Chains A and B, each alone.
Chain A
Amino acid sequence: MAEVKEEKKVKKAKKLADPVAASYDVASQEMILRAHDLGVETIFDRAENMKPCNIGVQGTCCKNCGMGPCRLPLPKAGIEGEDERKGLCGATANTIAARNFIRMIAGGAAAHSDHGRGVAEVFLAAARKETDDYHIKDIDKLLAVAADLGVDTTVEEDGEILDRDIDEIAVETAEVALNEWGKPEGELLYVKKAPAARYELWKKLGVIPRNIDREIVEIMHRTHIGVDQNYKNLMKQGSRAAIADGWGGSMLATDLQDILFGTPYPVAAEANLGVMKEDMVNLIIHGHEPILSEMIVSVSETQEMIDYAKSKGANGIQLSGICCTANELLQRHGIPLCGNFLQQELAIITGACDAMVVDIQCIMQNIANVAKCFHTKVITTHPIARMEQDNVIHVEFSEHHAREDAEKIVRMAIDNFENRKAEVMIPKHKSLVVAGFGVESTAYELGGTFRKTFFTLNSNIINGRVRGVAGVVGCNNARCRHNEGHIQVVKELIKNDVLVLTTGCNAIACATEGLLTPESAKVYCGDGLAEVCETVGIPPVLHLGSCVDNSRILLAATEVVKAGGLGNDISEWPVAGSAPEWMSEKAISIGHYFVVSGVYTVFGVTFPTSGAPEFQKYLFEDFEKIYGGMWGFEADPVKHAQLMIAHIDKKRKELGIDKARERVLMDMADRQALEA
């Protein structure tokens, strides 16, 4: 210990983060403090020492060719008269910002969609029975997806309609699904899952994706030097790629994961660093794909592994998750949430993390550095996601020997239990959660087996108990206080009777604050929302899963339209979106598919187009006239929520539900006038 302290003195020049200012979460504050005590550097400290690039942050730095980077910062005082800023090639600030923006969409869409492709490949292997380790788990969902993809679920034999063989359906569904990534002609099949009015609008605007990959490739082409230099035309392609993500890659990922691993239904669990157990092997799974994590769950629950852990002096195996893998494990198995993006280093700093196994996306390279200070084994598993540090172990995971790989990983974690060095310090803080609100399970919870419906929600939106619905999602961002934006935005919304649907790191933030418990409704909500939560027995913040599961929010919004009484399109009913602490390119892609699906979407922290005011106005204002949804930015969480509420109120007014609902008493003539 003395040595470590000595080292800290030498590096005195570096600033350390103030734990309380760095995170809203007390467990995290404790771990940041511990990191300081142990001299372990974390992202919170680095954020104090390195500021973001002032030009890059505005979105007006162009490094798409070797003549640049061309930097076009917006003067502090703004620009009076004509904006004469240009890159060497003449690209305007609008062009540069738009190119950078849609390249972010391409990055995000690629990440989600490649994840989806991976799932589709495993699904095809399972359908063809080429793997013993994965199987079709949810037949109802398979049949529903088959129908959406135009795969026959019945066969005609001698004039009789019979159920088609499930294996046959599965293989064809997998083939048709996989084809969506690269089919040479036609349009993306899932876009028809959107409300008819939305589909027609997209068709009219010419933004229906042709396949998933092509739209991403075309972004890279268009943003190459000297190709598309009209920000409106660039955004059209950005929109098309975003639709290919939300209504394509992400949605297929979600659906195929549900078929393979089960459609989520409500489960109770716990969240935050306090879920780790000192006397157990703590195996933390971090990343995004359930392909890996599902198998680890399956293996670690076997008696053989439990016995093995006991033979090594542990009381068992405690699995927990970080980032979206955590959400996937939670919604299907009730496995506790360890933490969100900014807690990945902190989980290791407990000294109790015996292994952190990671796959793809949002894995900070620094976990390997932090792990060096402890006994923790960092295990990468995905061929496209490896780390340069030499303490990182790579166990390549494949669907063909998934169980074997998983067993190897679990054994590695168990074997490492006895190597714990530093004293273990697990924060005591954890909260209860209820998660698992997919579209299917929400319809069930709102009406039971016989009346499955979203109408219960619509009815209470119409009568004003629920003012509207917000999808609050997204990352953590070390440029703002960890979790504060998430929690403040959500609390302000539910206080104003807005029901919140959450995914990703926002879901984990809400979980640690106790907002995913049914009991929180009475504490934090307005009277109307509290009463509805009480009636259904739900938390005021519904956990819909991981970040690819934002597709569930799109479908939930569509189900509301279908249930009736709130207009014909997603853009017509009182709904808004938010990512208070976004940072990843995936968030931009998600935000944009929300916007073009008709949802007003507000981002916090920063917005990557501020250096091009004309282009930003296009996204923030003109888009509303085109898509019915538009972007917004507000860093202050309460004002951020208020922007969303104002939009919700505007939609209520447009629907004529801004006044108290009258009780309509029906006589016979009214009943005769009912539509069939």
Chain B
Amino acid sequence: MSKLIAFAVIQGGYNIISKVEGEYETALQTYDAATKVGFPNTAYYLPIIYSLLGLKVETLEDIREPLEFARSLLPPHVKSKNHLPYLGPLLDAGMGAILALEIKEALRYLNEPDFYLASEEDIDIDAGKIWLGAADDVILRKRGVEFVDGSAPGFAVILGSAPTPQIAKDIVEDYQKKSLYSWFAANHNGTTLTEQLIEAGVQLGWNTRLVPFGPDISSAAFAAGFANRVAMTFGGIEPGNYKKILLYNKERVFAFANALGDVGTEWGAVAGGVLNWGFPVIVDTDIPAVLPTGICTYEHVVPNIPHDQICQKSIETRGLKVTVSEIDIPMSFGPAFEGERVRGADLFAQMGGGKTQATELVKLAEMNEIEDGKVEIIGPDIADIKEGDTLPLGIYIQVAGREFQSDFEPILERQIHHLTNYIQYIMHIGQRDITWVRVSKAAVEKGFSLKHIGVVLHAKFHQDFSNILDKVQVTLYTNKDDVDKLTERARAEYRIRDERVENMSDETEEIFYSCTLCQSFAPNHVCTVSPERTGLCGAYNWMDCKAAYEINPTGPNQPIKKGECLDPVLGQWKGINDFVYKASRGNIDHYNLYSMVTDPMTTCGCCECIAAVLPGLNGVMTVNRDYMGETPCGMKFTTLAGVMGGGASSPGFVGHSKYNITQKKFIIGDGGIKRMVWMPKILKDEIKDRLDKRGEEAYGIKNFSDMIADDTIGVTEDEIRPFLEKVGHPALAMDPIMG
């Protein structure tokens, strides 16, 4: 009966809010009211409070208002007879509880600063740091992209613990196989799912999509906070527009909660609270069901689900479709296993990585030349070697198909990395001739053979690229001579390919490609990808888009005839404008590909870097999303992204990929890369060679990277000006950047 649920949720709301009020009073007695509070490395304050109420909690004092608001949401208790309606009150009480729990976690960060492992992707069992707490903005953006492109279809918030560690492992593996993230919070009678999984030897962390938030129910607030940051970051919804934030979650963020164990009043309050997000609750115990629809897309509370069905039942209840690749290998397989490490102690054997040569090559073949599905190992397999050994490795893939073009070879080749990584217990690093494959003992126990790499590649190539290929044959070489021969041939191929791409220009191609992949989250955003402007996420260049279009002609990458050139300097074409107008649903009627000052391209939340004009230095800076520090424009990456992302065109700012910085057309309309006066050192080091090459090629400047200031020199305009003057940075002498 729903009434019992309402009763529990409202009771739980009172319990939680009263407790948190007590903790807040204690904190006020312990610390000064001006003491800073918050979650680490985020521009979103306490994100639930910020997103829903528009309140920025920065100090202990700032907590008072949202906490009083939470209290005001508490409705009267439900009477047993002739009671008043309780759905609205139940949702309010749950929301009040979740707001209070976010405050509770902020107080925990204040009181126990070392409780959570700060901004780490994986847990540190040896140091006893198994709780990750709030995901910072770097994780949010990196993982957010996976929700955007569909590689992570949703997330499960799992409360409590399973009856045994093995059941715990089975449940989360079901989610991993379906590529969902599982986030763990709360304990059941003192046992946590996290500890059960550690006991079962499961790798935990963002990399394996198994994230231990915290041991208490309060850490469930991190999940709701993440979801709301997705709505603000990728959906571009302004903080305080609570209805839109919650509906965005209902419609686009496919999350749900599982409760493992007895649902008491506090869990009940959280469950009632997450219904506001449209996240249903699926539990393993016998509690009342709430099946009518409305707040959630389908059922609200589904009880009594056996553990081996809870994954399937949950995604069905949420209305989520997940296609799982069934691949005939003895290990589990899927994106959730991509981030799994094979550490020294677990290592059985490795190939490449400086120990031996390991090379990958995809080549077009004639239809009659190869046999589809043939996977051959020439040389010893894993079974033929002993623990600690190494092998050379050549992965040679021949692909044939009526629609297949040699242009698609590098695209398929790039898939080898993540597809191989998708195999549980196998780790793949690098690409081309610097490949490195590590095989764990667990893989060998399950019966791993190198042949399985071929099986995976054959199956996945067929699944993902069926429109462009008909036959795939894989040969794995493990004899040194064969590998060396393949390597030599491969290097020649790489050279030809690189030249072909480098010689392409925006002028020579009539067709550009759109990318609206992110519209699942940023509905107005439209990327235009040209040969000299790769997608701002760094994941899609022109060639990728072309292939993606061939593979899926109705997909998010569509060819755009660029048409009449309206502005060759700023990079504006009529055909592009027309397309953008339509694809942005009338929100954007034009933009420039080569300018960040005048009507720049729109930016979604998933750009690799954001460039900003520094008017005082007559130049620009850029910052990559991995850099968490301050920048000379006065904003950190995450603040910048909040200001200019979400599908808007923001003059003075533009999102771009790392690679794009050294492409010829990079902000060429504003003076080009000569304007670049600052970037974080980690980024500068990463692209140093290409920066120097580009500087010399275009402007005859040697070691251009040395003229660009970085965070070791300063993070304000004033701090870096003397440096720029000293090195004679060309930007200082250019025409004013703002006309």
Contacts and interface: CB of A to CB of B under 8 A. Distances in A.
Interface of A: 266-268, 432-434, 444-453, 455-460, 463, 465, 517-519, 531-532, 534-538, 663-672, 674-676
Nearest to A534: B2
A534 B294 contact: no
Contact of A450 (B52, B323, B516): B52
Given A446-B88, A448-B95, A665-B321, A531 B292 contact: yes
A537 to B, nearest CB: 4
B421 to A, nearest CB: 20
A451 B82 contact: no
Contact of A448 (B83, B92, B321, B556): B92
B262 to A, nearest CB: 23
A672 B556 contact: yes
B643 interface: no
B293 A451 contact: no
Contact of B81 (A432, A433, A449, A455): A432
6 contacts: A434-B83, A445-B88, A465-B292, A518-B82, A535-B290, A672-B556
Contacts of A266: 84-85
A458 B297 CA distance: 12
B47 to A, nearest CB: 15
Contact of B87 (A446, A519, A674): A446
Contact of A449 (B73, B153, B252, B585): B73
A451 B276 contact: yes
B602 interface: no
B519 A672 contact: yes
10 nearest A-B residue pairs (beta carbon): A448-B91, A456-B294, A676-B523, A668-B150, A665-B321, A537-B86, A671-B520, A432-B82, A445-B85, A667-B321
B115 interface: no
B681 to A, nearest CB: 36
A116 B556 CA distance: 56
A676 B3 CA distance: 36
B276 A446 contact: no
B301 to A, nearest CB: 10
Nearest to B519: A672
B161 interface: no
Contacts of B251: 671, 674
B293 A666 contact: no
Contacts of B524: 676
A663 B520 contact: no
Interface of B: 1-3, 6, 52, 73, 78-79, 81-92, 95, 149-150, 153, 242-243, 246-247, 251-252, 254, 276, 290-295, 298, 300, 315-316, 319-323, 516-517, 519-520, 523-524, 555-556, 585, 587
B2 A667 contact: no
Given A460-B292, A674-B520, A663 B319 contact: yes
Contacts of B300: 535
A446 to B, nearest CB: 7
Contact of A666 (B52, B89, B243, B254): B254
Contact of A268 (B84, B322, B516): B84
B88 A447 contact: yes
Given A667-B321, A670-B321, A671-B252, 16 more contacts: A268-B83, A449-B88, A449-B95, A450-B242, A451-B276, A455-B294, A456-B87, A463-B292, A518-B82, A519-B81, A535-B2, A538-B85, A663-B319, A666-B254, A666-B320, A666-B321
Given A432-B82, A669-B555, A451 B516 contact: no
A676 B321 CA distance: 21
A124 to B, nearest CB: 33
B420 to A, nearest CB: 23
A665 B319 contact: yes
Given A451-B243, A672-B517, A537 B87 contact: yes
Contact of B516 (A531, A670, A672): A672
B242 to A, nearest CB: 5
Contacts of B243: 450-452
Contacts of B555: 669
A519 B88 contact: no
Nearest to A448: B91
A452 B87 CA distance: 11
A465 B520 CA distance: 31
A476 to B, nearest CB: 25
A464 B316 CA distance: 19
Given A449-B88, A456-B295, A664 B520 contact: no
A517 B84 CA distance: 9
A480 to B, nearest CB: 30
Given A537-B87, A665-B321, A531 B293 contact: no
A185 B88 CA distance: 43
A536 B82 contact: no
A670 B150 CA distance: 11
A518 B81 CA distance: 8
A537 B295 contact: no
Contacts of A451: 91, 243, 246-247, 276, 295
A445 B81 contact: no
Contacts of A671: 150, 251-252, 520
A531 B291 contact: yes
A164 B347 CA distance: 71
B88 A444 contact: yes
A584 to B, nearest CB: 31
A663 B316 contact: yes
A674 to B, nearest CB: 6
Contacts of B246: 450-451
B294 A434 contact: no
A267 B85 CA distance: 9
Contacts of A455: 294
Contacts of B92: 448-450
B81 A534 contact: no
A232 B593 CA distance: 63
Nearest to B317: A663
A434 B276 contact: no
Contacts of B82: 268, 432-434, 517-519
Nearest to A449: B92
Nearest to A522: B1
A434, A452, A536: most-surrounded residue (chain B CB, <10 A): A536
Given A448-B87, A535-B2, A668 B294 contact: no
Contacts of B86: 536-537
B518 to A, nearest CB: 9
B520 A672 contact: yes
